Amino acid sequence: MKKLFFLLALATIGTLTTSYAQNAPAEPTVIVCLGDICPHYKDGKIDNITTTRSEILANTTLSTPPPFFKVVEFSFSMLPKAKDFLGPFKVTGDKLTPEIIKLIQNMDDPQGRIFIENIIVNVNGIAVKATPLALKMALKK
């Protein structure tokens, strides 16, 4: 009897976890750009974005394409080529901090990956999580 009850309980739990009837509606997808550096889509997915150090330093403010929404906060991380992971650095506002800019400027070899994640955008008074942004920093595009 205990074995039968256990199997019924497992079957019930399996049914509950695969039911989509009570899932919350999905939040709208918000795309964020680093200045003029915006994600591109390929086959319905965000494609790799290759950029240079000078382009990143010229584009230090996060923004959304129209309709424009205010970026409230985000986290910044960097994985320089053949170096240790740096970050994440929590940033309040929409601009890279002077410390982050200095990190990028002082890289011996300006190559690696940059991750901008946990992006919160104010959409008509509601905090919405935006799509993360991953950049590949190279010597040339």
Q: Does the N-terminal peptide bond of residue 65 adopt cis geometry, omega within 30 degrees of 0?
A: no
Residue 116's pLDDT band (cuts 50, 70, 90): very high
pLDDT digits 0-9 by tens, 60-100: 999 998 889 999 999 999 999 999 999 999 999 999 999 99
Per the prediction, the chain carries an average pLDDT of 82
Contact 84, 107 (CB under 8 A): no
| DSSP one-letter string for 84-129 | --EEEEEEESSB--HHHHHHHHT-SS--EEEEEEEEEEEETTEEEE
**pLDDT of the residue at 19:** 46
pLDDT for position 27? 52
pLDDT at 134 over 70: yes
6, 26, 76, 82, 134 from 99: Cα distances, Å:
57, 35, 11, 21, 19
C-alpha 10/C-alpha 18 separation (Å) is 13
Lookup: tokens for 86: 């740096």
Predicted TM-score of the model (pTM):
0.75
Q: What percent of the chain has pLDDT over 90?
A: 60
User: Looking at residue 26, what is its pLDDT?
Assistant: 54
Residue 37 clears pLDDT 60, i.e. is over it: yes
Whether the Cβ atoms of residue 17 and residue 118 lie closer than 8 Å to each other? no
CA distance 125 to 69: 10
pLDDT higher than 60, residue 7: no
**Cα separations in angstroms, 111 against 80, 123, 137:** 6, 34, 5
pLDDT attached to residue 17: 46
